[in-house]
């Protein structure tokens, strides 16, 4: 009898991510509007988001290593999703800056606690031959949530204009569904050894230093890519410059997530057949094409065509990169390996967006887009020449 690839735990965890993303993405388009409505300046919003993302990024490394050390996945997954779900209505209760900082940072800390353990749990559920399918399947559901969330927000704000606090309170309901679903998950990782030494907050750095050369080369390449992959907000700003209305920008963001969701699983399955490296490199070249197009285009139809390509690029990138990482490290170090990468990746993301903002300010949007396109094409060549695709064999 043929063994099922997409098992019950994978379905459950994918649904957990879907409902969590509905909750998060309901708020993503209106977060700056809400913060400004309660008196936050642009500078304070920037500090808040930077602190929140740094918290999420650095904590991924620590909690990933802690998950491996304890030989447990589910408690980290469950508590991480619980913390994120509870933090959203917390933001609507009080308008004090310190309280908002606490609530927003709690949300991102929840992401930091769960992410590495969740990805390791997915990896534990399958074999090296099917990692692309499994991570692609999960990413499909995650992105469906990102597709549905802004639609829910648009509908609610249409009937209740500027009722941002109501939106934050309602966001708890899909969050509750996600929490309840986590109680259906069971530990399926009996082969993970329990280590006696408890990791320190930054001990994941030592793991990177002592990691296999293939892991180092892969992570270096992925981080180089991230340094030139600024926030998608910059793409939306280019479209805004070209005359898109706020509603059309949200619709464009929804369209991108729809394409991403549609292609994540089939591209993951294709990657299992022709190689994870091949699809990742293809994704980098597609990214370069999109950014080059954004540098010079002003036509709305072409923007949507470029977003279509950008959705395919996205399906070729994050989930495939994580699947590749899980294939080149031992099972008992999976969460540590993913956590270390995502920790450094979060810092690289902050640097990328900051640098993009400076370049935009000094030389304009076209220079920002062109530099990213050219640099990522070079990163693709780095992968072709210096990063062989190999499995962990022990």
Count the Cβ atoms, other than its own, within 10 Å of residue 154: 16
Residue 159's H or E segment, with its range, is: helix 131-159
User: Which pLDDT tens digit goes with each residue over 268-316?
Assistant: 999 999 999 999 999 999 999 999 999 999 999 999 999 999 999 999 9
Q: How far apart are CA 70 and CA 80, in angstroms?
A: 16
Q: How far apart are CA 65 and CA 130, in angstroms?
A: 24
Q: Are 56 and 87 in contact (CB under 8 A)?
A: no
Question: Phi and psi dihedrals of 304, rounded to 5?
Answer: -70, -35
Question: Helix 276-296 and helix 318-327: axis angle, to 10°?
Answer: 150
Question: Helix 42-70 and helix 334-363: axis angle, to 10°?
Answer: 160
What is the model's pLDDT at position 100?
Answer: 83
Q: How far apart are CA 55 and CA 198, in angstroms?
A: 20
What is the model's pLDDT at position 192?
Answer: 54
- Residues 6 or more apart in contact with residue 299 via CB below 8 angstroms: none
What is the model's pLDDT at position 394?
Answer: 45
C-alpha closest to that of 290 among 305, 268, 274, 269 = 305
Q: What's the distance, Cα to Cα, between the start and end of the chain in Å?
A: 27
Q: Are 242 and 295 in contact (CB under 8 A)?
A: no
Distances 296 to 107, 278, 352, 365, 368 between C-alpha atoms, Å: 37, 28, 21, 9, 11
**What percent of the chain has pLDDT above 90?**
57
Per-residue pLDDT band at 82 (split at 50, 70, 90): very high
Residue identified by tokens 């750095």 is: 205
- Residues 6 or more apart in contact with residue 75 via CB below 8 angstroms: none
Question: Helix 213-227 and helix 318-327: axis angle, to 10°?
Answer: 170
**Tokens in use for 42?**
């642009």
* DSSP-derived secondary structure for 187-228: ---TTSPPPSSPPPTTTHHHHHHHS-HHHHHHHHHHHHHHHT
Q: How far apart are CA 339 and CA 287, in angstroms?
A: 25
Q: How far apart are CA 305 and CA 290, in angstroms?
A: 9
What is the model's pLDDT at position 43?
Answer: 65
Question: Helix 131-159 and helix 276-296: axis angle, to 10°?
Answer: 40
**Residues 32, 34, 36, 40: is their CA dihedral positive or negative?**
negative
Residue 53 has pLDDT above 80, yes or no: no
Report the residue count for the chain. Answer: 394
Q: What is the mean pLDDT of the chain?
A: 88
Q: What is the mean pLDDT of residues 116-142?
A: 95
Q: How far apart are CA 278 and CA 284, in angstroms?
A: 10
Taken in order of first residue, the domains within the chain and their CATH numbers are 8-187+204-386 (1.20.1250.20)
Q: Are 319 and 264 in contact (CB under 8 A)?
A: yes
Burial of 245 (0-12, 13-18, 19+ CB in 10 A): exposed
What is the chain's alpha carbon radius of gyration, rounded to the nearest angstrom? Answer: 20
User: Which pLDDT tens digit goes with each residue over 333-343?
Assistant: 999 999 999 99
Q: Are 114 and 79 in contact (CB under 8 A)?
A: yes
Q: Does 328 or 164 have the greater pLDDT score?
A: 328
- The reported pTM is 0.90
């Amino acid at each position: 009898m043929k063994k099922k690839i997409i098992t019950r735990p994978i379905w459950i965890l994918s649904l957990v991510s879907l409902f969590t993303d509905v909750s998060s993405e309901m708020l993503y388009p209106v977060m700056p509007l809400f913060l400004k409505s309660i008196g936050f300046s642009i500078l304070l919003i920037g500090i808040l988001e930077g602190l929140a993302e740094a918290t999420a990024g650095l904590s991924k490394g620590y909690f990933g290593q802690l998950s491996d050390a304890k030989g447990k996945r589910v408690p980290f997954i469950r508590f991480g999703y619980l913390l994120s779900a509870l933090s959203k209505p917390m933001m609507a209760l009080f308008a004090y800056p310190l309280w908002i900082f606490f609530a927003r940072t709690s949300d991102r800390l929840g992401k930091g606690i769960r992410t590495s353990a969740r990805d390791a749990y997915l990896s534990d559920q399958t074999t090296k031959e099917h990692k692309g399918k499994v991570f692609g399947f999960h990413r499909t559901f995650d992105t469906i949530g990102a597709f549905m969330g802004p639609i829910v927000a648009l509908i609610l704000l249409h009937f209740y204009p500027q009722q941002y606090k109501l939106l934050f309170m309602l966001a708890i309901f899909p969050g509750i569904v996600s929490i309840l679903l986590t109680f259906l998950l069971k530990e399926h990782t009996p082969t993970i050894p329990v280590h006696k030494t408890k990791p320190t907050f930054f001990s994941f750095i030592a793991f990177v230093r002592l990691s296999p050369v293939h892991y180092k080369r892969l992570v270096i390449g992925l981080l180089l890519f991230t340094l030139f992959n600024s926030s998608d907000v910059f793409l939306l700003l280019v479209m805004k410059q070209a005359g898109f209305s706020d509603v059309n920008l949200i619709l464009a963001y929804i369209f991108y997530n729809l394409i991403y969701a549609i292609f994540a699983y089939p591209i993951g399955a294709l990657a299992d057949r022709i190689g994870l490296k091949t699809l990742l490199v293809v994704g980098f070249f597609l990214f370069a094409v999109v950014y080059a197009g954004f540098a010079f285009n002003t036509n709305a139809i072409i923007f949507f065509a470029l977003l279509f390509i950008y959705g395919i690029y996205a399906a070729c990138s994050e989930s495939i990169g994580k699947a590749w990482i899980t294939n080149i490290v031992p099972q008992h170090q999976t969460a540590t390996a993913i956590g270390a990468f995502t920790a450094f990746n979060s810092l690289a993301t902050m640097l990328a967006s900051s640098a993009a903002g400076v370049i935009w300010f000094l030389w304009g949007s076209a220079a920002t887009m062109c530099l990213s396109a050219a640099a990522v094409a070079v990163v693709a060549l780095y992968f072709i020449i210096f990063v062989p695709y190999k499995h962990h064999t022990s």
